[in-house]
Amino acid sequence: MGLIVVNGEQTSKRLLSSAGIAWLFDAMDVGMISFVIAALGKEWQLDSVSMGWIGSVGSIGMAIGAIFFGAMSDRFGRKDVLILTLLIFSIGSGISAFATGYTMFIIIRFFVGTGLGGELPVASTLVSESVSVAKRGRTVVLLESFWAGGWLLAAIISYFVIPVWGWRVALLGASLTALYGIYLRYSIHDSFNEVKQNSRRHSSPIKGMATLWQRQYAKSTIMLWIVWFMVVFSYYGMFLWLPSVMVMKGYSIVDSFGYVLIMTLAQLPGYFSAAWLIERWGRKSVLAVFLTGTAVSALLFGNATGLPMLLTSGILLSFFNLGAWGTLYAYSPEQYPMVVRGTGTGIAAGVGRLGGVIGPLMVGQLIAIHVSFTLIFTIFFVAIMVAVVAILVLGKETMGKVIETKQVVE
């Protein structure tokens, strides 16, 4: 493929900040909807099953968006697809603020989900292709750390805005992120355009999907599908329900938002720890360790009774889970060559989003039949440990590996 010699340090920082802010807005929308679910449950008198569908319908959209836009990025380039997905979820979020009923709201959230699901694998693939080998893993994890900033912003907005002005105002404010697409259009240059021009010569999406099952990639594909499904299943099953779980445990909606805000703060050190370790321990070890920590924390949270234990286990859950997310986004694009990297990462994320559909719905159904939180979070413990086993048995270490790309040289 050849190499491009550029000012690596400057390019990496500009790329990280540009894509990272788009990622932050993505996280802000996902985080805010968890608080909106709790508010809508009270305002529209929704049962737990209906509340679960609000989270799950977004994940259905995310699954479709990840697969479709991931393949499109291999055809038309990462930059344009990144901007398009940003506009879809930003504008859709604003439109959802005008929903007059439950059915209208979840239909709009489906389309918002397609944009959210498409942006994440495209952004991580693009960043992975545009930084040096030595900093590739760390940079992608740092990109993921913007997710914590988005959740933190969502928690702050929800804590101060929703109880006073309502959820509609919060979603309208989130829609202003569409303006960032204009800036993004002109802030991302050289290396992105090179990837885009190269992508136009790639094979069809169908051939790209077939490539994922060739002998040299099949084991990686199976591993990624298992890990993505289990991680997204547990993440959305747990985190979309956190504010509502706190309310069900007897805390007021304002107090619950505040406690989840405290838990959210732990996401940032989780990302930074994973970013520091990923180029020292390797992808497999960091991912396995952080997912194991997530599983144990989920078990502790499910068995917690008093507020101190709930906060401690919730903080640990945020720390380990989001560090694992960052590592997974760094690990996934490194499994494939450039011609199918967007497709491979997008489909893996899409399979994961199916787990994001099942997780919130499962929690809603189990709560409706009065299953204990201990059993619910034990299910998540088992699911995450299945992902750990898949990584250890099927995964390959990619730290220091030169991936096929127009790689940045410093």
DSSP 19-70: HHHHHHHHHHHHHHHHHHHHHHHHHTT--HHHHHHHHHHHHHHHHHHHHHHH
At a CB cut-off of 8 Å and minimum separation 6, what does 101 contact?
Answer: 44
Average pLDDT over residues 245-264: 74
- Residue 408 clears pLDDT 70, i.e. is over it: no
Average pLDDT over residues 264-291: 88
State in Å, rounded, how far the first CA of the chain is from the last one: 17
- Residue 193 clears pLDDT 70, i.e. is over it: no
- Residue 243 clears pLDDT 80, i.e. is over it: no
Beta bridge partners of 4: 408
Most confident of 142-146, 261-265, 379-383: 379-383
Token pair for residue 216?
Answer: 């040299």
Residue 384's pLDDT band, with cuts at 50, 70 and 90, is: very high
Higher pLDDT, 108 or 49: 108
The share of the chain scoring above pLDDT 90, in percent, equals 16
Among 39-43, 279-283, 388-392, the minimum mean pLDDT is found in 39-43
pLDDT (0 to 100) of residue 32: 83
Distance CA 162, CA 166 (A): 4
Average pLDDT over residues 227-248: 83
Higher pLDDT, 157 or 194: 157
What are the φ/ψ torsions at residue 395 (nearest 5 degrees)? -75, 155
What is the CATH classification number for the domain harbouring 242? 1.20.1250.20
Tally of domains within the chain: 1
Distance CA 173, CA 241 (A): 23
Residue pair 195/126 in contact (Cβ under 8 Å)? The answer is yes
174 closest CA partner among 59, 53, 30, 353: 30
pLDDT (0 to 100) of residue 110: 92
- Residue 406 clears pLDDT 70, i.e. is over it: no
Higher pLDDT, 24 or 384: 384
**Tokens 């009065």, located at residue:** 370
Residue 378 CA, distance from chain mean position? 22
Higher pLDDT, 368 or 136: 368
| 334: containing domain | 3-409
**In this predicted model, what pLDDT tens digit does every residue of 297-332 receive, in sequence order?**
999 988 888 788 888 888 899 899 988 988 898 888
Average pLDDT over residues 46-51: 82
The pTM for the full model equals: 0.74
Residue pair 110/61 in contact (Cβ under 8 Å)? The answer is yes
Residue 191's pLDDT band, with cuts at 50, 70 and 90, is: very low
Distance CA 313, CA 319 (A): 10
